[in-house]
Chain A
Amino acid sequence: MKSGFKVIKAGILSLLQDGGRFGYSHLGLCSGGPMDKEAFRWSNRLCSNPENSGVIEVSVGGLVMEAQCSCCIALTGADIPMHINRNWAAPWQTHLIESGDRVELGYARSGMRGYLAVSGGFRCEKIFGSMSTVPRDKLGGSRQDGSAIQVGEVLSCPTLQTLPQRYKLSEEVRPVRPQGNAKLRVVLGYQHETFDLDKKQLFFASEYTLTKDSDRTGCRLKGPAIMSNVGGIFSEGICHGAIQFPPDGQPIVLMCDRPTIGGYPKLGSVFSRDMDKLGQLAHGGKVTFDTIDIETARLALLSHEEEFLAIKPEPAEL
């Protein structure tokens, strides 16, 4: 029998994700990867995995699996209740799993995406250097064709050889995620000069609502319309977090599975630290924007990286 987890229920949308697919944007391949990178990194750290190991990004919830080997798991991200053999199991903590154990995820009480890591990482054949599942590119995942995790399949992972350290991350040091509203910092860039000052002021003073048309490709927002002075531009490269304004003036923040190029004017990009928050915001959530200059953004990124590495999770009791 293959060592891994048999999928009993696939849930709403469960995708294998590693750090992302890089180095192929010039061929039209988007990066993919986790929508909440920090929660993703914590799930791997709690399993003592190398950075960017393959985990399951569970959107909303509903995933049920049966272990076919002994291993450790950890669930981070959205507040999704987890049960192991019908016993409640704490999130942000390493749990020992034996062959035959049933891991059951409920539905998110807050947040959108949970990250379920396993010791040694989920494994599958990589395509273009990554196992990240990108449905729009039809690439990645266990079948390499961009399809989501399906009922009946066995997700491969290594059998535990030695008993690993088990950890838990106390609540005070877990990443803070918005409950219904997110404030996003924006690095101004791209065509921001083609937006009149009063339009920019309106944008930064307004509250937008995350619509149900939002997904891993883009977060579509609804609120006061903001028009650029140019209708369209020559199609150009789009980075993660870019905020584009189609002719209707309703902003779209481009997420992990974004098209690599596009022709709508852009105001700049959401600071990467805040993209994690957006990745956890449920439909109907409120979004406001603020500016951050590029130097401040980098310093914030560096100090966060330092803090992240400095946090030592406490050992979890048996």
Chain B
Amino acid sequence: MNQCDYKISIAGENSIIIYFGDRACDKNAALIADTVNKLKISIGRFIIDYIPSYASLLVIYDPISTDHDLIKMEIEKSLKNLVFTEPISDGILVELPVYYSSESGPDLHNLSKTVGLSTREIIELHQSIDYRVYAMGFAPGFAYLGEVDRRIAAPRQDTPRLKVPAGSVAIADRQTAVYPCQSPGGWNLIGLCPKTMFDAAKTPPTPIQVGDRVRFRQVTRREYIALGGEI
């Protein structure tokens, strides 16, 4: 059992950021999730938005009805007795099907050359870990998952693509993600996932939430199309 170390900083006139150390790990993910829940109860009425990320939590509040000192005090109070034992919530485990191939993942071949592993080995290593959803941002429903095996970590493309297809499964450094919609992007594309990652008509609009876990499962081209995927 260890005491939670954190640092609170000003972000702006209406926002505070809490840093939970300098690592992306299950412990920090759980602490951040617990903190959000606590703050919703204690100062939820002043809060406009929360943005959890790898090792931090941004809290945006209404500066007319409250002020920095009060929010900071309430955060300190909430965190004071936050002693990390084990994750209170481990999130749900969501399985995402992926059609890995050069056709669906145009960077798979280059990645293989970069990291010195066969495409088969890359595909196996990518499926070997239950990833944590650390953050959502960049675009609606874009979930930052971590961390991939060091052996398949690779830097972003020098020149980002103007159009990355929706559903693209990609790696950047030790992060992996599924592009929820077509957008520009510089990550290394290794496959396609047929699952809709952001649907405004659904509640919740995303199949995964920050704090959940994701496991990728390889499917064939035929299965990918049967699941609604498009090439």
Residues of A whose CB lies within 8 Å of any CB of B are: 22-29, 31, 127-128, 136-139, 144, 187-190, 234-242, 259-262, 266, 268-272, 294-295, 297-298, 301-302, 305
Residues of A contacting B52 in the complex (Cβ-Cβ under 8 angstroms) = 26, 237
Q: Could you count the A-B residue pairs with CB atoms below 8 Å apart for me: how many are there?
A: 141
Indicate which residue in B14, B17, B139, B204 contacts A237 across the interface (CB closer than 8 Å).
Answer: B17
What 0/1 pattern do residues 147 to 164 of B give for CB contact below 8 A with A?
000000000000000000
- B6 sits at the interface (CB 8 A): no
Taking each of B50, B53, B181, B200, which has the highest tally of chain A beta carbons within 10 Å of its own beta carbon? B53
Are A188's CB and B200's CB within 8 A?
no
Are B140's CB and A26's CB within 8 A?
no
- B121 sits at the interface (CB 8 A): no
Output the nearest chain B residue to A138 by Cβ-Cβ distance: B181
- Top 6 nearest A-B pairs (CB, nearest first) are A237-B58, A237-B51, A269-B12, A261-B137, A189-B10, A25-B49
Indicate which residue in B49, B137, B198 contacts A259 across the interface (CB closer than 8 Å).
Answer: B137
Are B56's CB and A236's CB within 8 A?
yes
Are B48's CB and A23's CB within 8 A?
yes
Residues of B contacting A127 in the complex (Cβ-Cβ under 8 angstroms) = 200
B16-32 with Cβ < 8 A to chain A = 17, 22, 24
Are A26's CB and B50's CB within 8 A?
yes
CB distance from B54 to the nearest CB of A (A): 4
Residues of A contacting B53 in the complex (Cβ-Cβ under 8 angstroms) = 234-237, 261
Q: Main SS of the interface on chain B?
A: loop
Indicate which residue in A138, A236, A262, A271 contacts B13 across the interface (CB closer than 8 Å).
Answer: A271
Residues of B contacting A305 in the complex (Cβ-Cβ under 8 angstroms) = 64
A239 to B17: give the CA distance in the assembly, Å: 10
A10 to B48: give the CA distance in the assembly, Å: 33
Indicate which residue in B10, B60, B67 contacts A188 across the interface (CB closer than 8 Å).
Answer: B10
Q: A137-B140, A234-B55 are in contact. Are A25 and B12 (CB under 8 A)?
A: no
Are B139's CB and A239's CB within 8 A?
no
- B46 sits at the interface (CB 8 A): no
Q: A190-B17, A236-B54, A272-B14 are in contact. Are A28 and B140 (CB under 8 A)?
A: yes
Are B136's CB and A240's CB within 8 A?
no
Are A25's CB and B68's CB within 8 A?
no
For chain B, the count of residues having a C-beta within 8 Å of the partner chain is 42
Are A242's CB and B12's CB within 8 A?
yes
What 0/1 pattern do residues 54 to 83 of B give for CB contact below 8 A with A?
111110100110011000000000000000
Output the nearest chain A residue to B180 by Cβ-Cβ distance: A28
A sample of 12 more A-B contacts (CB under 8 A), given A26-B136, A305-B64, is A27-B140, A28-B138, A137-B139, A187-B13, A189-B9, A237-B11, A237-B52, A239-B12, A239-B60, A259-B138, A261-B138, A272-B63
- B104 sits at the interface (CB 8 A): no
Taking each of A188, A240, A305, which has the highest tally of chain B beta carbons within 10 Å of its own beta carbon? A240
14 A-B pairs with CB atoms under 8 Å apart are A24-B49, A25-B60, A137-B140, A187-B12, A187-B13, A188-B10, A190-B17, A234-B22, A234-B24, A234-B56, A237-B17, A237-B56, A242-B12, A268-B10
B177-216 with Cβ < 8 A to chain A = 181, 198, 200, 204-206, 210
CB distance from B27 to the nearest CB of A (A): 15
Residues of B contacting A27 in the complex (Cβ-Cβ under 8 angstroms) = 136, 140-141, 198, 204-206
CB distance from B134 to the nearest CB of A (A): 8
CB distance from A74 to the nearest CB of B (A): 24
Q: A239-B60, A302-B64 are in contact. Are A25 and B9 (CB under 8 A)?
A: no
- B142 sits at the interface (CB 8 A): yes
Residues of B contacting A234 in the complex (Cβ-Cβ under 8 angstroms) = 22, 24, 53-56
Output the nearest chain B residue to A136 by Cβ-Cβ distance: B139
Residues of B contacting A188 in the complex (Cβ-Cβ under 8 angstroms) = 10
Q: A28-B140, A235-B144 are in contact. Are A294 and B49 (CB under 8 A)?
A: no
Are B206's CB and A301's CB within 8 A?
no
- B171 sits at the interface (CB 8 A): no
A137 to B137: give the CA distance in the assembly, Å: 10
A146 to B22: give the CA distance in the assembly, Å: 36
Output the nearest chain B residue to A234 by Cβ-Cβ distance: B54
A190 to B9: give the CA distance in the assembly, Å: 6
Residues of B contacting A31 in the complex (Cβ-Cβ under 8 angstroms) = 49
Residues of A contacting B64 in the complex (Cβ-Cβ under 8 angstroms) = 301-302, 305
Indicate which residue in A26, A29, A139, A239 contacts B210 across the interface (CB closer than 8 Å).
Answer: A26
